[in-house]
Amino acid sequence: MTIEQLACFQAITEHDTFLKAADSLHISQSSLSKQLKKLEEELGIQLIDRSKRSASLTEAGEIFAADVKLLLLQYQLSLSHLVRFRNASSIRIGTLPLLGQYHLSEKIAAFSETHPDIRIELNDVEESALVEDWRAGKYDLLISRPFSPEFESLHSVVIARDELVAVMHEAHPLASSDHIGLSDLRTESLLLMKPYTAVYKHCQRIFLENDFSPEEINTSRLETIFSRIVSGGGIGIVPYRNYMLFRQPHLTAIPFSPAIPLEIRMYAAENGLSAPAGALMQTLAKS
């Protein structure tokens, strides 16, 4: 059995449906089910009663759940014991695939040039993998847009700033506006990034805070969003830097009023922050 399988099982014990458990881990329901099936097959015991709509534990599952809770706590404790033994001259960074558009690759490279004794390992991953890998202790630092409640308790600094813009065809009636309000888009067909992304979750928070309920929302990859807008398929809400990276002819980006800021942050667990990692955080926060 693996730590990932045990974490999936524990999530199921803490939620009443597979869907909620999968959402809590930022993975798909099918991935969660596969991990549980592998665990049950290895143990040769059914842990979850699938005859009911809710995620109900079998008798064996109830007993195993108590043991799993202790195992995962011990695993996290063991990782914390090893923090001070990590190579202080190495920094492992997990990041969303956004370094290029915010010129962070160049800034990290510049830090490496002035600190040749520090080895930096960068790993680009999507949101769900970033959370899972952080829980597994694979990284010293994270670079991400805020999206996971789990990150809110971490020490963090802002290392880049962006804002959301409304991207539309230049022939759209709103395209001549200097600024746009969310209320102006209430009857529009909106195009957002995929639901697992930090940008999508940020948009949903903004909609909720502003009591904004658009008539239609579709989600796609960025490239598809811009292609659909070119063909008159709606209005996209995306980070301005993404627009600059993927923009196509006949598109325009209109800023919101009031502006909708979007931060890029570097995260670290304060009790496990090495001197080199702290130096890198401080450098990027100032740049």
What is the share, in percent, of the chain residues with pLDDT greater than 90?
64
Q: Tell me the C-alpha distance between 177 and 97, whole Å.
A: 31
* Pair of tokens at residue 190: 């909106």
Q: Tell me the C-alpha distance between 170 and 251, whole Å.
A: 5
Please check whether the domain covering 84-160+263-286 is classified as CATH 3.40.190.10: yes
Same fold for the domain at 84-160+263-286 and the one at 162-262?
Answer: yes
Residue 56 has a pLDDT of 85
Q: How far is CA 129 from CA 95, 97, 105, 194, 211, in A?
A: 10, 12, 20, 15, 31
Q: Tell me the C-alpha distance between 19 and 3, whole Å.
A: 20
222 φ, ψ (degrees, to nearest 5) = -55, -45
pLDDT in tens, 112-126: 999 988 899 999 999
3-state helix, strand, coil split of the chain in percent (to 5) is 50, 20, 30
Strand-pairing partners, residue 165, are: 238, 255
User: Which superfamily is assigned to 162-262 in CATH?
Assistant: Periplasmic binding protein-like II (3.40.190.10)
Whether the predicted model's global pTM rises above the 0.85 cut: no
* Pair of tokens at residue 27: 């993975």
Best CA proximity match to 191, nearest among 144, 146, 242, 148: 242
Mean pLDDT of all residues in 12-34: 87
pLDDT of 88 higher than 60: no
226-240: buried (b, 16+ CB within 10 Å) or exposed (e) per residue? bebbeeebbbbbbbb
Residue 99: other Cβ atoms inside 10 A: 19
pLDDT in tens, 100-110: 999 999 999 99
Architecture of domain 3-78: Orthogonal Bundle (1.10)
Residues 143, 214 contacting (CB under 8 angstroms): no
Report the interhelical angle of 59-82 vs 3-14 (nearest 10°).
120
Which single residue is written with the structure tokens 């506006």?
177
Q: Tell me the C-alpha distance between 12 and 35, whole Å.
A: 11
Strand-pairing partners, residue 69, are: none
pLDDT in tens, 171-186: 999 999 999 999 999 9
Q: In the chain, where are the structural domains located?
A: 3-78, 84-160+263-286, 162-262
What is the rounded average pLDDT for all residues in the chain?
90
| Element at 37 (helix H, strand E) | helix 29-43
pLDDT in tens, 212-269: 999 899 999 999 999 999 988 899 999 999 999 888 899 999 999 999 999 999 999 8
pLDDT in tens, 67-85: 999 998 888 888 776 665 5
